[in-house]
Structure 1
Amino acid sequence: MILKDKVVIITGVGPGMGQAMARLAAQEGAKVVLGARKQAFLDGVVADIRAAGGEAIAKSTDVSIRAECDALVAAGLEAFGRIDGLINSAYMGGENAQFDDGDIEAWGQVIDVAALGAARMAQAVLEPMKAVGGGAIVNVATMQSLKPLPGGSISYAVAKGAMTTLTRQIAADVGKYNIRVNSTRMGWLWGEPVQNAVKQIVSYTGQTEEEYIGSVAARIPLGVIPPEEECARTVLMLVSDYTKMVTGAVLDVNGGEWMAP
């Protein structure tokens, strides 16, 4: 178990990769502290983890509010006595529009959650990580910050692009405390959110789901839309001691669809 006895905070625990990371982290031996806005959903994930023999707590958290970030960290310390890892996965989707008619004034809220929320959480865990001699932070970003998606959310791409820049800046500052900071740039994630999106897309295109999924998979060298569980494992690897000498890195996790230079 690559996370045995580690205490890991995960934000943005929703029906997609967030819940997959939480369940897998517990299976890998971590005590998990879950944060997101919907307490009822969090409680369901915690119940599943505990039923499987794992340890978990959850607290409704809005990462755009510093006090709530601090409260999530405090809850983890109270329950488990230490903090070893942080996965910043909270996000706000933003609008889907072309730039020429996009609502630029609304971008701030998306950036506040995805980029500044990650910074707030990272700052909130610094002292607990220093107290145990180090830790690992992973910021979950998106391939869209490098590969524009026509009609996609520009504010989401901008916010996640800022998150990868933030990763390197924090990594340079906190390495002296043995705290590592890395980022993953995710592509397509095959799970409930994408499955629902595909249903909506094909209702407009007239394609079957199989045709559309096949067209997406054909652009990916590995030939499949990456399953969210496999992508979650990659994120967890960066929290583990297997990557002790990796910091300030941005890892593309997309089956090879986009290969950054």
Structure 2
Amino acid sequence: MILKDKVVIVTGAGPGMGQALCKGAAAEGAKVVVSARSVDAIEAIVAEIGAKGGEAIAVRCDVTSVDDCNALAKAALDKWGHIDGMVHSAYYHPDWANLEAHSIDQLTQVLDVVAVGGLRMAQAVIPTMKAQGSGSIVNISTLATRKPMPGEGGYAMAKSALNQLSRQLAVELGGTGIRVNTALMGWMDGVPLQQFFASMGEGGNAFRKQRASEIPVGHIPVDADCAKAVYFLLSDYASEVTGAMLDVNGGDWVAA
């Protein structure tokens, strides 16, 4: 249990990676603050964690609101008195479109949720982590920031800004005991991707097999397994790691 007794906040605890992060962190011994905009969704995750003997609380948070982000950090402190980790996984994906004709409103929104939202959350937890002399921030990013994909430019722009946020904070917070790292996810097998393949009808299974064959590990990584890399970055095993961008995409970033 590499996160035993650590208090970890997770933003964007929706279907897929967000849920996997919360449940897995609890299984690794963390006390988890589960957050997203949907109260029903986060309360269901907390109930499942509790049924398995874990500890978690549900706190609604819209990361585009400074007040919500500060309230989220306060809820963790009020419940457990410290904050050891914060994972920024809040998600918004604009329409697939080439940048030359992309909706500026949607680009503004994804930047606000992903990049500026990451900064809001960092600002909310940094004072506590500084006072403790320790803390780990992990920002969830994407393979698309290394490997441009048609139609993915808007999302990749926002995640690229998040990547730089991690690097910048890692330097600015040097000597405080706070580490800041990024995990770059690629295609992940979980509920959202399964729904995507199902929406393709008869061609979905063939496309799944094709995509899996193009990834060096030979399969589409499972979201719950990808989440394990985040637990490492949160844990004391990564005590000497900061400013890193860890590819958690089955080697897809090096594939042609």
TM-score range for the pair, normalised by the shorter chain length: over 0.9
> What residue number does 2:20 align with?
20
Residue 159 (1) aligns with residue 158 (2): yes
> What residue number does 2:194 align with?
195
Correspondence 1:104-253 to 2 at 5 A? 104-152=104-152, 154-200=153-199, 202-203=200-201, 207=203, 209-253=204-248
Partners of 2:99 and 2:154 within 8 A in 1: no
Quote how far apart the aligned CAs of 1:73 are. 0.4
CA distance in 2, matches of 1:136, 1:105: 32
Quote how far apart the aligned CAs of 1:131 are. 2.3
Partners of 2:140 and 2:185 within 8 A in 1: yes
Correspondence 1:86-97 to 2 at 5 A? 86-97=86-97
Task: Give the TM-score normalised by structure 1.
Answer: 0.95
CA distance in 1, matches of 2:245, 2:207: 29
Partners of 1:252 and 1:259 within 8 A in 2: no
> What residue number does 1:39 align with?
39
Quote how far apart the aligned CAs of 1:48 are. 0.5
CA distance in 1, matches of 2:253, 2:247: 8
Q: Structure 1: any 5+ residue segments left out of the alignment?
A: none
Aligned residues: 255
CA distance in 1, matches of 2:184, 2:12: 16
RMSD: 1.2
CA distance in 2, matches of 1:236, 1:124: 21
Quote how far apart the aligned CAs of 1:180 are. 0.2
CA distance in 1, matches of 2:90, 2:147: 21
CA distance in 1, matches of 2:68, 2:213: 43
Report Cα offsets for 1:89-115 as digits up to 9, x if no partner: 002111111223211243111101000
Partners of 1:33 and 1:57 within 8 A in 2: yes
Report Cα offsets for 1:163-217 as digits up to 9, x if no partner: 00110000001122110000011000100001111122x23xx52x331111001
Quote how far apart the aligned CAs of 1:259 are. 2.8
Percentage of matched positions with identical amino acids: 49
Report Cα offsets for 1:4-58 as digits up to 9, x if no partner: 0100000000011111110110111100001110010000000000111110001
Residue 51 (1) aligns with residue 51 (2): yes
Structure 1 segments (4+ residues) deviating >3 Å:
none
Counterpart of 2:175 in 1: which secondary structure?
helix
Q: Structure 2: any 5+ residue segments left out of the alignment?
A: none
